[in-house]
Amino acid sequence: MSHPSEVHQGNGGDRAGGGRKVRHLEVVPATKEGRPLGRMLATRWGILGATIAALGMFLYSIRLPWWHFWLFAPQYPRKGLELVVSLTGVSGDVAEVNEINHYIGMKHLEDAAVFERQIAFGAIVALGVIVLVLTLAEGKRFAALSATIAAGLPLGFVADSWWWLRRFGHELDAHAAVKIKAFTPQMFGGGKIGQFETFATPETGFYLAAGAVLILAIASYVRSRVCASCAKAATCGAVCTSLFVGPGAGLAGPGSTPPKET
């Protein structure tokens, strides 16, 4: 076990580095003055709070639109046609887009990602549990794991949506009235199909989820700094028993228990 004083480092230099950086943590034994202890507590609860907030954002994003498609054609002069995609479904001018799509033999939009939409809520809850457990338990080696897994939600959404777009654009009914070459509708920015100008862009739900991932990434970074300066860093394995769970993780935080004799 290294001496606590060894991790008492970088105080001056980092502070000089400016407040905009994530503060280099000082893992010092709890003192009677309680100042380092307070900082420790703030860090710990900060990480937990950020994680819970991020998971809350994930959950809330279910209620928000994730992606927005516009289709503009002369026949729709007021506002074109709109499709608003969320994790659980698609809304907007669905009937009319289906109606137009039937000419080229495209499937109904409701037939896309049925499974994904059904499991969306459960998947987010499961993801939340995993991220939360990891946050509580992950050791130095896996400090970035929770954020990486969480990133799977927005990235997975984009990948899955693209896959469905591609599939719809490629599995056209051979008996359709209008025969067109297989295509993948644009997922980002502008495109053109027939007389339609299309435009696609992420929506608030996606941005909220991406923000949640960013928050988790920051939390992970902070976490990694904690680990780097942890008294148990040398022996730390897959599971951290100091920060949140384990015998050493009392109220005072890591490093607070051993030096009782001081």
Partner 1 sequence: MNTRLAVRALAGIALVIGTVVAAACAPQKPKGADLGASQSIKSLMEKRGLSEADVEAALKTYVPGGKYDDYMIFASGGQSGQVLVMGVPSMRLLKVIGVFTPEPWQGYGYGGDSTAVIDGAGQSGHKITWADVHHPNLSESKGDYDGQYLFVNDKANARVAVVDLADFNTKQIVVNPLVSSDHGGAFVTPDTDYVIETSQYPAPLGREYVPIDQYKDKYRGLAMFWKFDRKKGRIDPAQSWAIELPPYTQDLADAGKLGSDGWAFINSFNTEMAVGGTLEGKPPIESGASQNDMDYLHVINWKAAEKLVAEGKTTTIKGFRVLSMQTAAENGVLTLIGEPKSPHGCDVTPDGKDVIVGGKLDTHATVYNFDKIKALIDAKKYDGKDVYGIPILSFKESIRGQVEIGLGPLHTVFDDKGMAYTSVFLDSAVAKWDYKNLKLIEKLPVHYNIGHIMAAEGDTVSPDGHYVVAMNKMSIDRFTGVGPLYPQNFQLIDTDGDKMRILSDTPIGIGEPHYSQMIKIDKLKPLKMYPVGTNIYQGGIDPNATVAGKERIDRSKPGVVDVYMTAIRSHFTPDRIEVEEGDVVNLHITSLEQAEDQTHGFTINMYNVDLSLEPGKHENVTFKADLPGVYPMYCTEFCSALHLEMAGYVLVRPKGTPAPGASGSASGSASAAPSAAPNASAPKK
Residues 55-84 that bind partner 1 (CB under 8 A): 65, 68, 70, 76, 78-79, 82, 84
Contact 154, 88 (CB under 8 A): no
In whole angstroms, give the CA distance from residue 121 to residue 250: 34
To the nearest 10 degrees (0 to 180), the angle between helices 145-170 and 204-228 is 150
3-state secondary structure of 81: strand
Q: How far is the CB of 72 from partner 1 (least distance, A)?
A: 10
Choices 35-43, 108-116, 140-148, 241-249; region in contact with partner 1 by CB under 8 A: 108-116
Sign of the C-alpha dihedral, residues 37, 40, 46, 47?
negative
Closest residue by Cα to residue 51 from 120, 124, 125, 134:
134
- Report CA 238 to chain centroid distance, whole Å: 22
In whole angstroms, give the CA distance from residue 14 to residue 242: 24
Q: Return the residue of 103, 167, 170, 251 that touches partner 1, per CB under 8 A.
A: 103
Contact call for residue 171 and partner 1 (CB under 8 A): no
> First and final CA of the chain: distance in angstroms?
16
Cβ closer to partner 1: 96 or 160?
96
Q: How far is the CB of 166 from partner 1 (least distance, A)?
A: 19
Angle at 158 between CA 152 and CA 166, to 5 degrees: 135
Q: Return the residue of 99, 118, 155, 188 that touches partner 1, per CB under 8 A.
A: 99
Cβ closer to partner 1: 31 or 171?
171
In whole angstroms, give the CA distance from residue 31 to residue 211: 37
Contact call for residue 199 and partner 1 (CB under 8 A): yes
Q: How far is the CB of 112 from partner 1 (least distance, A)?
A: 12
Paired residues of 72 in beta bridges: 197
Q: Return the residue of 19, 177, 181, 247 that touches partner 1, per CB under 8 A.
A: 177
Which residue reads 């928000």 in tokens? 64
Q: Return the residue of 108, 117, 166, 225 that touches partner 1, per CB under 8 A.
A: 108
Cβ closer to partner 1: 36 or 65?
65
Q: How far is the CB of 64 from partner 1 (least distance, A)?
A: 11
Residues 110-129 that bind partner 1 (CB under 8 A): 110-111
Using CB under 8 A, list all residues that contact partner 1. Answer: 65, 68, 70, 76, 78-79, 82, 84, 93, 95-96, 99, 102-103, 107-108, 110-111, 173, 175-177, 199, 201, 203
